[in-house]
Amino acid sequence: MDWYVFTFLTQDGLTTGAIYALIALALVLVFAVTRVILVGQGDFVTLSALTLATLQAGKTPATVWLLLGGASLVCVKMLAAAAREGRLAQAPRILLMQMTLPCVLALVCWLVEPATLPGALKVLLSIVIIAPLGPVLYRLVYQPVAQASVLQLLIISVAIHIAVIGISLWIFGAEGFRTLPFTSGNLDLGEVSISLQSVLVIGIALALIVALYLFFGHTLYGKALRATAFNQRGAQLVGVPTDLAGSHAFLLAAIIGAVSGILIGPITTLYYDSGFLITLKGFVAAIIGGMASYPLAAAGAFLVGLLESFASFWVSAYKEVIVFTLVLPVLLWLSLTTHHVEEEQH
Partner 1 sequence: MSGDKLLEVQGLYACYGKVDALLDISLRMRRGEIVSVIGPNGAGKTTLLSALIGLVSSEGDVRYAGQALTRYHNVAERVSRGISLVPESRELFAPMTVEDNLLLGAFSRHRQGHRDQHSTLAEVYALFPRLKERRTQAAGTLSGGERQMLAMGRALMARPTLLMLDEPSLGLAPKIIGEIFQIIRDLRSTGVSVLLVEQNARAALKSSDYGYVLENGEVALEGPAAELADNPSVIDTYLGRKKKNTAPVEELTAIG
Residues in touch with partner 1 (CB under 8 A): 85, 87, 220, 223-224, 226-227, 230-231, 233-241, 244
Comparing CB distances to partner 1, the nearer of 87 and 93 is 87
Euclidean distance between CA atoms 56 and 62, whole angstroms: 14
DSSP string spanning 264-310?
HTTTS-B-TTTHHHHHHHHHHHHHHTTTT-HHHHHHHHHHHHHHHHH
Comparing CB distances to partner 1, the nearer of 135 and 275 is 135
- DSSP structural state of residue 195: E
Comparing CB distances to partner 1, the nearer of 59 and 93 is 93
- Please report how close the Cβ of residue 242 comes to partner 1 at its closest, in angstroms: 8
**Any residues with CB less than 8 A from the CB of 29 and at least 6 apart, and which?**
225, 249, 252, 253
Comparing CB distances to partner 1, the nearer of 77 and 319 is 77
Quick check: 288 and 330 in contact, CB under 8 A?
Answer: yes
- Please report how close the Cβ of residue 233 comes to partner 1 at its closest, in angstroms: 5
- Please report how close the Cβ of residue 52 comes to partner 1 at its closest, in angstroms: 35
Comparing CB distances to partner 1, the nearer of 229 and 298 is 229
- Please report how close the Cβ of residue 95 comes to partner 1 at its closest, in angstroms: 19
- Please report how close the Cβ of residue 221 comes to partner 1 at its closest, in angstroms: 8
Euclidean distance between CA atoms 161 and 235, whole angstroms: 30
Element (H, E) at 27: helix 3-34
